Structures are given as structure tokens and as C-alpha cells.
Amino acid sequence: MTNKNHFLPLLIDMSDKTVVIFGSGSVGDRKATLFSEYAKVTIVSRSFSDTFFEMERKNGVKLIKADAGKLSDTEITTIICEAFLVIPATNDRTVNERITSLSKSIGILTNEVDAIGDVTVPAVIKRGELTISISTTGSSPAFSRFTRQQVEKIITPEFADMIKIQDEIRTYLKNEVPDQRDRKDILWNILESKEVWSALEESYEKGFKIAQDIVREKISRKVR
């Protein structure tokens, strides 16, 4: 059991959650850029580049100018007490370990830079409502990025449009086609239609029109 990977991929709504990041170096910058798009972010650092001030202006990131190494345990605990996730990303491993220890002592998840923490941050591909995460659980971040680049060649922007078509057609079919198996067959016909995929390369409207034609044809056959 000790060698088993216990990390489970989950999608979590971060909109009402707080992420606290210690450090504004390259790692802190990368983490802040990612999480500020999804969550409320607080960054603690001795100094900040223009990138962070832009995040403050654009995404409401909270900047706390302080040297984490000189903060007391009580001061750090006060900063992180309402956090969902803490990311110790200073250039001092001892400071990072202290922040991690304090976070764990009050039940807060950590994403560690120097070790495998409670949370690993995957490479992410987003195509509209489609989200794909890729992780080696910290074993090789470079391989995660490489895999993402390979998958992005296959998961094109048209995938986002196909999801929209599936959602709209599925809603329509619930009212027009009583049998769930018939609805499933129609949706799969659209998914497997080379005509629809080809049309989506030109525009969503063209792809949607061909999908509608497929629906009308399938329904008319059932009526007969």
C-alpha cells in the first residue's frame, strides 16, 4: 500500500475559495497566474513585479508585502486561517517547510514546491466546457507539459463547439424523443459525423445546421 498513488483527479469549484501563495519568484508567478483565474488569491512576498500589480488590478489579487521568514507562527496562521489551499513557494526550503507544517496543523491543504504535498497542480487543457488535466504526480513536470502539447494537437477548438452542439441538441431531444436509447443514438450519430466536424472548422453555425439536419432525419424515420 505504501507505493500506491493515492492522488485522485477532482474538479473543484474554486470561485469562493482562497489560495495563499508565499513567494513571488517564477514559481509563485506561475501559480498566481493560474489560480487568480479561478479563485481568490493572496500573495505574500518581500517585493512584487509589475505582473503581480497587474493581477491585483485585473483579478483582485491581494498582495501582502512581508518577509515570510520573519513572520511569527501566529502571523502566518492569521494570514492562512481562511485558506482552502496554501502554496509555500519562497526560495528558502526551511521557510516553506514551516508554512507547510502550520497549514497542516490547522487542516489546510498544501501544494508544495520542494516535495509532494496534499495537492498537485496538473497541466490543464481547456476547450470550452471540456477540461483535461495531465499529471505525473510531480515525477516529471516536463513530461506533463510534453503530453499536454501532444494532446492539444488532437483536442482542437472544434471540441468546444461540439460540446455546445451536444448540449443544445440533448436538451431539444429530451422534449421530442421519449426513448433514451433513441436520444443516445442520435447524439452519437452527430458525434461521429465527419460532415459536422468538417463544418465546425468553418463555423459553429454551419456545424450546428448539419447536426439539426441529422436530428430531423432520424426523427422523421422514427415517425414513419
Question: What digits encode the pLDDT tens for the residues 12-46?
Answer: 999 999 999 999 999 999 999 999 999 999 999 99
Query: Which SS3 state, helix, strand or coil, does residue 17 take?
Result: coil
Q: Residue 177 contacts by C-beta under 8 Å, 6 or more apart in sequence? A: 183, 186, 219, 222
At 46, which amino acid appears? R
Cβ-defined contacts of 10-18 (< 8 Å, 24+): 11/131, 14/38, 14/39, 14/84, 15/39, 16/40, 17/84, 17/85, 18/42, 18/82, 18/83, 18/84, 18/85
Is residue 72 pLDDT above 50, yes or no?
yes
222 pLDDT above the threshold of 80:
no
Strand partners of residue 19: 41, 85
What average pLDDT does the structure give for the chain?
Answer: 93
d(CA 196, CA 5): 40
The span from the CA of 117 to the CA of 108, in Å, is 11
Distances (CA, A) of 199 to 204, 206, 211: 8, 6, 10
pTM: 0.82
Distance of CA 161 to the CA centre of its chain: 19
**Of the candidates 45, 40, 93, 101, the residue with the CA atom closest to the CA atom of residue 71:** 45
Residue 128 Rama label (left phi>0; alpha psi -120 to 50; beta): left
Find the largest Cα–Cα distance for the chain. 79
Cell of 161: 463547439
Interval 122-180: pLDDT, tens = 888 999 999 999 998 878 888 999 999 999 999 999 999 999 999 999 999 999 999 99
